[in-house]
Structure 1
């Protein structure tokens, strides 16, 4: 097992070890509304949980507010490092997720690689995404997906371009006292979309086939997803589900394609400035 897979499979095993028939219990601290609420209680809970669940050789670092990825995990025994970006949604009372097709990626689009600093040295590390759909009362995780960021975007150059494209304009307004922050908002596919049967209400690890096909995890792979880019290149991903029975040698894999087809069908629409309206006297 390679170092990257060893770390991410250890994370996955630790998270699902807390699973119950009703989901993974969550104990969140109240949000601290002091200056900013960007320090998400769920991120802090994941950080605390991983520090308890992971072997002693693993270190977990919190990147800080508005910094990608949210957490950095290092195995001191092997010096292997991965980034972990956390995305959570809260389930609506009718059982659906609150977003549907897409989810927001503020200021920086997702990617399977990320830049971090190790001392003074800039290092490029693999980046995974932890998607969690919480129950309406935020007491448990209904859907959990630990996903290779390349599944959403493998273009690291595009990721870097986006990361450094934000800027602030000063001397704004008639008195020159204002400023405008030009900060891009990206929407990419939402794996927590409740209409995606391959993901919904499951606890999954989504990784490249090449990483698991010769490992002990492959017996827990029942489905594969083919991601075909706009150039015709096909990338195969395995859905590892350790909560399902081991797949027999004779059982064929289910092959899924175009799971985010709805995102491709979106078309530009004109933005409308909404103006308050009152009745005529």
Structure 2
């Protein structure tokens, strides 16, 4: 068996691994970089109307440029989209990303204004916003009608297969010297940064071969439901049942075990929730 695999350029380090793979009847996989190309490209930067907005791009760029630590593929896509001169800006502080808040905030200044710039999952950023940037950058109340319009734009982008980050900001006082979780409130919603991450050409055939061999494929991803359904359709993976991270958070272990046989897609799940499903 190891010799036959070697002919296919596969190195077997543990012989028992071949038996384990042969006995496999369920395969759990991530989406980004496993089923998709992981060559994420930023393709649009949209305001509240869905029109291209330089303001949205500038805020997204400031956030990604000054964010500390390892850049995510989405940060790299924003920075690679187009270079901006930010030499007049400096970073004051940051609230790092975490999988519970699903956003990152940087406090920056150019000497005349001091801004908290927030980038993250649309659902969470919208929840923290009370205003949106309207015509001419004028802040308007984020009433139920405006909130519904922004949510509809987000849902439409997801249905078309685009990954989306929300961009918002908040003007801070000149003496505001640090950024804290409590600052991520009463935000002014600016718009959406939109990304494309197409499926791998080989992914559909791999899923088809696994299914034909009697292996059930389970997809676990941090992306939202609509973009996940779109990718599943492109890959030929029927969605039998779907559970979100919010669903998981409310489930007991007994309820989860009862649902597992009827579910093959888990979306908006954190790394800890993925581990819970696997174990």
Would the TM-score normalized by the shorter structure come out above 0.5? no
Higher percent of residues as helix: 2
The structure with higher relative contact order (CA 8 Å, sep 6+) is 2
In the superposition, the TM-score normalised over structure 1's length comes to: 0.27
In the superposition, the TM-score normalised over structure 2's length comes to: 0.27
